[in-house]
Structure 1
Amino acid sequence: MINEEIRDKEIRLIDVDGSQLGIMSAKEAQKIANSKNLDLVKIAPQATPPVCRIMDYGKYKFELAKKEKEARKNQHVVNIKEVRISPSIDEHDFNTKINHALKFLKAGDKVKVTVRFRGREVNHSSLGESLLQRFADSVSELGVVEKKPKLEGKNMAMFLAPKQ
């Protein structure tokens, strides 16, 4: 709440430099803020009496937006990329999938490696598990196993995270 929106009978007023001006009516505080060509902003409405501060509200909002933008710029969103393979994958195709996973791990993304079983292949889930273990060993210089291989329906999945 700013300026005329503040309707409390008594407020505690803080000046621009941070010094306390004491407890007074909202109208008096508004007059002081107007005389300095600044805004009266309620910063602690839950306090008794509520705390208001004299400040340039536009400048304050600009600084907040600037800090928020800076914080957003510095954060990195970790995506999960998926690499799908089958238990009967050929060696060259397997190496291509490893190269894709290495590229994702270098970019800082997590990789979900999924082995898809079709038909009766699911009976030989140990083949898929050994294939995923071989995959994890191949990318071990850039990634670590975050979740071990787990069979879910007709898919076996394993998660890899980039090394720190």
Structure 2
Amino acid sequence: MTPTLHTERLLLEPYVPEDEEDFVALFQDTRVSRWMGDGPSSEAEDRALFGRVFARVYAQDLFAVWAVRRDGRLVGHAEIKRTDTVDGHEIIYALAPTAWGSGLGSELARAVVAHGFGTLGLDEVHATVAAANEASLTLLDRMGFAYVRDIDEDDGSTTRVLTLRR
């Protein structure tokens, strides 16, 4: 079950069906989606992804997926899940551009890491980040994540694998 987490300025809680339009808007914003997964998707694919959060992830309690809110508004998305890419648990986070530049990314990432170390009892967490995503790489470096390796993607881009140990 995805627990509710609180930070100084953010509320991380399970999505509700009423979040669909805001979820799709976040994922359709190419300033955000270009750094997520395989990059931007169609609106239909993002709606299907939102549906799978309920039909699979929450229904089968697969991993934690959060709606990230500030002052009651959806401003981001976060996850922590086991992945074979890093042979461990990976943190995933995204914020709407309106939430950039105010330290909320660090606050969000720290909350997800704390959940991994505390609630899940992990000894390490990982992040996979596009090598061109300087903002996220800087944020993770400041948190103490260490470079592990690069992955050369099929599209010619590079993904960095970073790890933070407890």
TM-score, with length taken from structure 2: 0.32
Q: Which one has more relative contact order, counting CA pairs under 8 Å at least 6 apart?
A: 2
TM-score, with length taken from structure 1: 0.32
Q: Higher Cα Rg: structure 1 or 2?
A: 1
